[in-house]
Amino acid sequence: MKIAIASGKGGTGKTTLSTNLADLCAERKDFPGIILADMDVEEPNSGLFIQREVQKEIIRNKMIPQWDKDLCSNCGVCDSICRFNSLLKLGKTILVMPELCHSCYACSELCPENALPMQMQKMGRQTIFNTDSFIFIESRLDVGQEQAVPLIAQSIEYIDSKYPKDFLVLLDSPPGSSCPVIEAAKNSDFVILVTEPTPFGLHDLKMAVNTMREIKKDFAVVINRFGIGNDAVIRYCSDEKIDIIAKLPDKREIAELYSKGKLVHRDVPEFGKELKKVAKYLKRLSDRRNNQ
């Protein structure tokens, strides 16, 4: 079962929840195996909280067209076909902008002269780590690369092909509500939206909720730093009939442990108690899916 841990707003606690939850679930043994995969490929940080040992590193490439000016007849089909404007006909030259390319192959396939063969370009890497209790996978985009989606897609494909379906896979997803988080969410069975009980948290939660409804994904909410702000998030969830799985408390101790790169669920009992609710919720979710 794959769970995307997402949020609208950044900094609400996706990584705190993901890392602590992976550790707790491994301890509880509700699932035959646990995988924590950091899909926030532009700034992966789950690894900071995990004692780990590299098992395998995979270079990830994407395909971009390369213009062959000797074959080109200057017809301009490529320019008119590209939805992302990543390829322009300028007089007698074709200019390719690799950063805008989504590797859709349209220009390459439709070029009547085969003057745009696709070529490999390195975009990042995926590293598989062993920890004492679970498998940790980090995907990291190279500096200067702008497209997170192809790396997220390839990383999830790898997990799907290598590990049993009854493992619990937690995807620590990118923030926001645009393409990268959609890529992580659409390939998951369920989404946990982490928010904070503030006007900013609520505003971005609503965008994330709309996104999940648009792509028809089941989801529920975890409130982090419960105790600050106001009760507007709770009222919103109740009006919209959205499950609130847990309310992780706001405590200075948690921030202190976090700043030292430590997990908190064992040392802060109030946090551990709420986190257990999330673990149990996932177990129930999985049982229900298996019975269907």
Site for other proteins, rule CB under 8 A: 79, 82-86, 88-91, 93, 95, 97, 99-100
Least distance CB 96 / other proteins (angstroms)? 10
Handedness of CA 290, 243, 221, 272 (dihedral sign): negative
Give every CB contact of residue 273 below 8 A, 6+ residues apart in sequence.
none
**C-alpha to C-alpha distance for 267 and 251, rounded to whole angstroms:** 12
In whole angstroms, the minimum distance from the beta carbon of 106 to other proteins comes to 14
Rounded to whole angstroms, the Cα distance separating 147 from 150 reads 7
Q: Using the structure block, give the residue that is written with the tokens 């920890």.
A: 131
Decide whether 88 or 220 has the Cβ nearer to other proteins: 88
Closer residue to other proteins, CB minimum distance, 50 or 82? 82
Tokens read off for 109: 């396939």
260 CB burial (10 A radius; 0-12, 13-18, 19+): exposed
Report in angstroms how near the CB of residue 94 gets to other proteins at its nearest: 11
Cβ 95 to other proteins, closest distance in Å?
6
Indicate the residue among 91 and 164 with the shorter CB distance to other proteins: 91
Fill in the amino acid letter for 66. Q
- State the minimum distance, in angstroms, from the CB of residue 105 to other proteins: 17
Q: Which is nearer to other proteins, 85 or 259 (CB)?
A: 85
Phi, psi dihedral angles at 285 (to 5 degrees): -60, -45
User: Residue 81 CB, nearest distance to other proteins (Å)?
Assistant: 13
Amino acid at 102: H
Closest distance of CB 150 from other proteins, Å: 14
The residue among 51 and 93 lying less far from other proteins, judged by its C-beta, is: 93
Q: Which is nearer to other proteins, 22 or 116 (CB)?
A: 116
Comparing CB distances to other proteins, the nearer of 92 and 288 is: 92
- At residue 92, what is the residue type? K
